[in-house]
Chain A
Amino acid sequence: DTEVTQTPKHLVMGMTNKKSLKCEQHMGHRAMYWYKQKAKKPPELMFVYSYEKLSINESVPSRFSPECPNSSLLNLHLHALQPEDSALYLCASSQLGLNTGELFFGEGSRLTVL
C-alpha cells in the first residue's frame, strides 16, 4: 500500500468547473510535490512545497492553484481547465535536508477535462 494517499482516483470535469485534488502523507516528509503525467511521457514537475512554503513553480498556468494547509496535506485546485490538461496528476513527498532521499508517489488522480 502506498504511504501517500490521493483523492479522488478519477475525476471528470467540464471546462467551467472548479474542483480540487487532495494528497496526504504521514511519513513526516517536509517536501511535497505535484507532477503531471501524460501517456508515454515521464512525470513533469509542476510545484514543490518545502516546509509548507511554495519553493518551486515550474511556470504552471494559473488555472492550477496549489495549497499546502499543513505538513501532511497538499491540495491542487483546478479551475477553467482545458481538454489538454487531461492527464494523471501525481502527488509525491520526500525528506528535506542534505540528502533528500527518494520520492514516494501516490497512486495518482486521473483527470479528464471535457
Chain B
Amino acid sequence: RKEVEQDPGPFNVPEGATVAFNCTYSNSASQSFFWYRQDCRKEPKLLMSVYSSGNEDGRFTAQLNRASQYISLLIRDSKLSDSATYLCVVTRYNFNKFYFGSGTKLNVKP
C-alpha cells in the first residue's frame, strides 16, 4: 500500500468554483503534513502546512483528520492562476523522509 494516496484528477472547474482535494496516508506515525503546488516544468513550492486544528490562508483551507488519516485542501473562488498540480506530502516524527502523493492536477477554465 502506498504511504500517501491522492486522486490524480484532472479536476476541470470554472473560474469562481470551489474545489476540494483529499489525500490519505497509511502510517499513523505520520507527523507533519503539507500541500505543495507545482506548476508545469517548475519546482514544487509550499502552499500550506496542515495543522491539527486546521488552517486557512485566504481562499485556501487545509484540514487534517488523524482518526481517518486524511488531509484535505479546499480552494474557494478558483482563479485561472490556481491551475497547477497539487502535491500532498507527509513526513514522520524525527524521520528525514518525505512521502509524496502522486499529485492532483487542477485546471481552472474561464
Contacts and interface: CB of A to CB of B under 8 A. Distances in A.
A98 interface: yes
Contact of A96 (B34, B36, B43, B96): B96
B100 A107 contact: no
Interface of A: 2, 31, 33, 41-43, 45, 48, 50, 55-56, 88, 90, 94, 96-108, 110
Given A90-B43, A108-B43, A103 B96 contact: no
Interface stretch (B14-22, B75-83, B87-95): B87-95
B49 A105 contact: no
A27 B87 CA distance: 23
Interface of B: 31-32, 34, 36, 41-46, 49, 87, 89, 91, 93-98, 100-103
A70 to B, nearest CB: 18
A56 B101 CA distance: 19
A79 B91 CA distance: 32
A45 B3 CA distance: 14
A102 B100 contact: no
A106 B103 CA distance: 19
